[in-house]
Amino acid sequence: MKKLILLLSIVSLTVGSWGCKESFLTLAPASNPNAENFYKTKADFDLAATAAYNTLYTVYHPQGAVSYAGELMADNATIYNISGNQADKWQFRDYTLAPANTLVYQFWQDFYRSLYNINIVLDKLEGATLDADYKTKLQGEMLFLRGLYYYNMVQIWGDVPLVIKPITAAESYNVLRSPAAEIKAQVIKDLTEAKGKLAAAPSLVGRATKGAAQTLLGKAYLMTGDKTNAAKELKEVYDSKQYELLPAYTSLWDPKVKNTKESIFEIQFLGGSAIHPFSVYHREFFPNSNALGFYGSGMNQAVDDIWNEFETGDSRKFASIDTGFVDAKGVFTPARFPKKWMDKSAPLINQDIAANNNFMVLRYADLLLLLTEATGEVSYLNEVRKRANLPLYGATSYPAKYNTVALALEHERRVELAFEFQRWFDLKRTGRAVEVLKTKGKNITDNKLVLPVPNIVRDQNNKITQNQGY
Partner 1 sequence: MLTVPALHAQTVAVKGRVTGVSDADALPGVSVVIKGTQRGTTTNADGSFQLEVPGPSTVLVFSFVGYKSIEETVGNRTDINVQISPENKSLEEVVVVGYGTQSKRAVTGSVISINYDKFKDRSFSNVTQSLAGTLPGVNISQSQGAPGASPVIKIRGVSSITAGTNPLIVVDGVPLENFNLNLINPSDIESIEVLKDASSAAIYGSRGSSGVVLVTTKLGKAGKVSVSANLEYGSQKVVRRVKMMDAQQFIETYKDAKNNAWMAQGGKAGDPNSVRPATLRIPEDFVNNPEQFGKGTDWQEAMFRTAPSVNAQLSVSGGTEKTQYMFSGSYLDQTAVLDQNYYKRLAIRSNVRTSVTDKLTLGLNLGLTSIFDRTEGTQGKSDVISLGLQSNPHFPVYNENGNYGFRDPNSTWFRFTSYADMNLWHPYSLTREVDKGRKSFNTLATGFLEYELIKDLRFRTSISGNLYNTRNNFYWNDKQKYGYSSVLAAQANAGSNYMFNWLSENTFTYDKKFGDHALTGLLGYTVQKQRDETMYVAANNFPNDLVHTLNAGTVTAGNTTASEWSLISYLARVQYNLKGKYFVTGAIRRDGMSRFGEANKWGYFPSVSAGWLISDETFMSAIPAVSNLKLRASYGVTGNNQIPNYGAISLLGSAPYVNGGTLANGLKVSGLSNPTLKWEKTDQFNLGLDLGLYNNRVNVSAEVYNSITRDMLLFVPIPDITGFSSQLTNIGKMRNRGVELNISSKNLTGAVTWTTDFNISRNRNKVLQLGPGNAPIQYVDNVVTVRTEVGQPVSNFYGYIFDGVFKNQAEIDGYPHHSSTTPGDPRVRDVNGDGQITDADRTIIGNNQPDFITGITNTVGYKGFELSFLFQGSFGGEIANNNVRFLGTWDNGRNFYESMYQYWRSESNPGDGKHFKPSVNYLGLQKQFSSYWVEDASFVRLKNIRVSYSIPSAWAGKLKMKDARIYVNAENVHLFSKYLGYDPENTTYGTTSYSSSMETSGSYTSGNAPVPGAFAGVDYGSYPLPRVITVGIKADI
Site for partner 1 in 385-444 (CB under 8 A): none
Return the residues of window 280-299 that contact partner 1 according to CB under 8 A: 287-295
Binding mask 147-186 for partner 1 (x = CB under 8 A): --------------x-x--xxxx--xx-x-----------
Q: Which of 275, 344, 397, 401 binds partner 1 (CB under 8 A)?
A: 275
Find out whether 215 and 367 touch, Cβ atoms under 8 Å. Answer: yes
Distance CA 110, CA 65 (A): 8
Return the residues of window 78-97 that contact partner 1 according to CB under 8 A: 80-81, 84-88, 90, 94, 96
Distance CA 348, CA 431 (A): 43
Find the part of the chain contacting partner 1 (CB under 8 A) among 22-30, 211-219, 231-239, 432-440: 22-30
Query: Considering beta carbons, is residue 294 or 402 the nearer one to partner 1?
Result: 294
| Residue closest to 35 by CA, chosen among 26, 23, 48, 52 | 48
| Residue closest to 451 by CA, chosen among 110, 172, 91, 176 | 91
Q: Which of 42, 95, 102, 378 binds partner 1 (CB under 8 A)?
A: 102
- For helices 132-157 and 102-127, the axis angle rounded to 10 degrees is 160
Distance CA 408, CA 402 (A): 5
Least Å distance, CB 370 to partner 1, is 27
Q: Please compute, for residue 86, the number of CA atoms within 13 A of its CA located in the half-sphere on the CB side.
A: 9
Find the part of the chain contacting partner 1 (CB under 8 A) among 131-139, 229-237, 315-323, 456-464: 456-464
CA angle 418, 424, 428 (to 5 degrees): 135
Find out whether 67 and 299 touch, Cβ atoms under 8 Å. Answer: yes
Query: Considering beta carbons, is residue 35 or 400 the nearer one to partner 1?
Result: 35
Query: Considering beta carbons, is residue 396 or 462 the nearer one to partner 1?
Result: 462
468 binds partner 1 (CB under 8 A): no
Return the residues of window 43-72 that contact partner 1 according to CB under 8 A: 44, 46-57
Query: Considering beta carbons, is residue 256 or 401 the nearer one to partner 1?
Result: 256
Distance CA 40, CA 33 (A): 14
Return the residues of window 103-122 that contact partner 1 according to CB under 8 A: 108-109, 112-113, 115-117, 119-120
Q: Using only C-alpha atoms, what is the Rg of the chain?
A: 26
How far from 78 is each of 99, 299, 425, 442, CA to CA, in Å?
21, 7, 17, 12
Binding mask 209-248 for partner 1 (x = CB under 8 A): ----------------------------------------
Distance CA 13, CA 65 (A): 60
Query: Considering beta carbons, is residue 102 or 430 the nearer one to partner 1?
Result: 102
Distance CA 335, CA 318 (A): 13
Query: Considering beta carbons, is residue 318 or 332 the nearer one to partner 1?
Result: 332
Least Å distance, CB 232 to partner 1, is 31
Return the residues of window 321-350 that contact partner 1 according to CB under 8 A: 327-329, 331, 333-335, 348-350
Least Å distance, CB 161 to partner 1, is 5
Q: Which of 3, 26, 308, 312 binds partner 1 (CB under 8 A)?
A: 26
Find out whether 66 and 55 touch, Cβ atoms under 8 Å. Answer: no
| Residue closest to 261 by CA, chosen among 364, 385, 180, 173 | 364
How many amino acids of this chain bind partner 1 (CB under 8 A)?
110
Query: Considering beta carbons, is residue 77 or 457 the nearer one to partner 1?
Result: 457
Distance CA 193, CA 190 (A): 5
Which H or E element spans position 14?
Answer: helix 2-18
